[in-house]
Every structure is written in C-alpha cells, then in structure tokens.
Amino acid sequence: MKHLSDIEIIDSVLQGNANDYSLLISRYKHKAFSLLKRMLKNELDAEEVLQDCFVKAFFALKSFKREAKFSTWFYRIVYNSGVTKLSGKRRKIEQEMLSIDNEDNPLTLSVPEKEFTQEKNELLNLAIQELPENYSVVITLFYLESMSCEEISKIINTSVNNVKVLLHRSRTALKEIISQKHLEKELL
Amino acid sequence: MKHLTIDELNRLVDNELSQQEKIVVEQHLSECSFCSDESKSFKSINSLLIEQHEEKAPDGIEILIM
C-alpha cells in the first residue's frame, strides 16, 4: 500500500474522504499521547485531551496553511490544549489547597519501591514526569518527535535559544532526579 | 582546578562546541576525573533519551474520534 504524505491525506480528507483522517490519527496518536501524558501526568486526562485535539484539528484542517509542516501545526494544537488543561487543573488544585495546610513535599517518584524493577523505559518516564512541564515538553519533542530546536520554538512560541536553554536545563534536572532517586544503576 | 560548566557539558553532548572550545574541553576531561564522570553521565542521559520509546495511546481511539 502506498505511503501517503500528511499533505496527501489532508487533501483527500478535504475532498470529502473523511475516513482518511484516521490515517493521520494512527500516525500521530502515540507521540501526541506521550507528550500529553508527560504534560498532564495523568493517563485519563491525556486521553481526553488527545481526542479533543484530533477533533479540533479535523475541523480546522481547512485553515491549515501549508507553509509549516502538518506535524508542527498539529503539535501546537496539542501543546496549547495541554497548557489549557493544566491551567484548569491548577486552578482546581489551588481551590482544594485553600483548606489544607502547606506541607514540605519533597520530590518523590510516586510509585512503590517494588515497581523500581520495571523496565528502563517506564523508570525513565517516571523520572521525566518529575520534571517541570516545560522541560518535559522540550525533552519529548526533541527526543521522541525528533524535532529541531527551531520547530520546537514554533510550537511552544519561544526563541530557538530559549529552547536550547530549556533542553540543557531539562537534561541537567533529569540527571539530578535520577541521582536523587539512586536510579543511576538502572538507567545510566 | 576550574571545572567545566553545565553549559559546556551540555554543548559537548550536542556537539555544539567550537573547534577551539572542543580542544580545551577535551584537554580538561583528560585531566579531571570529576568532569570526565560528569561528561559520561550527560552522554548516558542523552543516549537514554534517544533510546526511549513512545507511550502507546489507548486502543480504539480512532473509533472514538471518527
């Protein structure tokens, strides 16, 4: 079966073959889900936002300007939807925290000790989830999506230099988390 | 001995050091076990991130959307 480019799929969808949109979903669902799960740190929220992103992108396909790659355009939708969801979650948490005394909450991996024997990839995901949201976004787009710093800068709306700074800081922070959690032996 | 900065270690991993900087950094790494270990650690983090796998989206998401 011929491999269709993103643009060819979009053209087909816009010509009335709406079912072809499932090809784009299949192509991007895992990576977009990975990004959202790392941003939202919750599987159900990530799934809900992911569905929403594909629906939004479907209805906005006509407005997609082909100057940028579809992936860049789509990940902007994903990133912005993730940020919107996060701000809603933060508001909710702030309201809940009003009635709770602040406590020191040291950085911890929220898994029981026994799960530390899980596969390397799962341990890495857990460590990445401890990163601040902007760090995990940059690390995910750069490494999982193989995006350049320039593409990432367009998605998160910042300068290329700032993306590089975020990338450096996120690697440094990840190294510290791995060290704090004594995961060097398992991961490095 | 002045150690390498985090920025230098990161740029070493990203292969972004100038030729001149690279010579200075490699000379330092050959003499400083602390920075040499740090450099190995950053390279390992980079390899780990390169090798990572994406997470799988839940099954049937196409059906839910379409």
3-class secondary structure per residue, chain B: CCCCCHHHHHHHHCCCCCHHHHHHHHHHHHHCHHHHHHHHHHHHHHHHHHHCCCCCCCCCHHHHHC
Distance CA A35, CA B12 (A): 26
Q: Estimate the crossing angle of helix A160-180 against helix A149-156, to 10 degrees.
A: 100
Q: Does A44 touch chain B (CB under 8 A)?
A: no
Task: Assign A97 a pLDDT band (cuts: 50, 70, 90).
Answer: low
CB of A75 within 8 A of CB of A32?
yes
- Nearest by Cα to A35 from A111, A127, A121, A138: A138
Span A101-129, average pLDDT: 59
Span A149-158, average pLDDT: 95
Per the CB < 8 Å rule, is A188 touching B45? yes
A50 closest CB neighbour out of B45, B49, B61: B61
* Residues recorded for chain A: 188
Measured between beta carbons, the chain A residues lying within 8 angstroms of B42 are 171, 175
Q: What does pTM read for this prediction?
A: 0.81
Span A84-97, average pLDDT: 77
B17 by Cβ neighbours in 10 Å (0-12 / 13-18 / 19+) ranks as middle
Decide: helix, strand or coil at residue A99.
coil
Q: Does B31 touch chain A (CB under 8 A)?
A: no
Measured between beta carbons, the chain A residues lying within 8 angstroms of B11 are 168
Measured between beta carbons, the chain A residues lying within 8 angstroms of B10 are 167-168, 171-172
Q: What chain A residue is nearest to B50 in terms of C-alpha separation?
A: A143
Q: Does B2 touch chain A (CB under 8 A)?
A: no
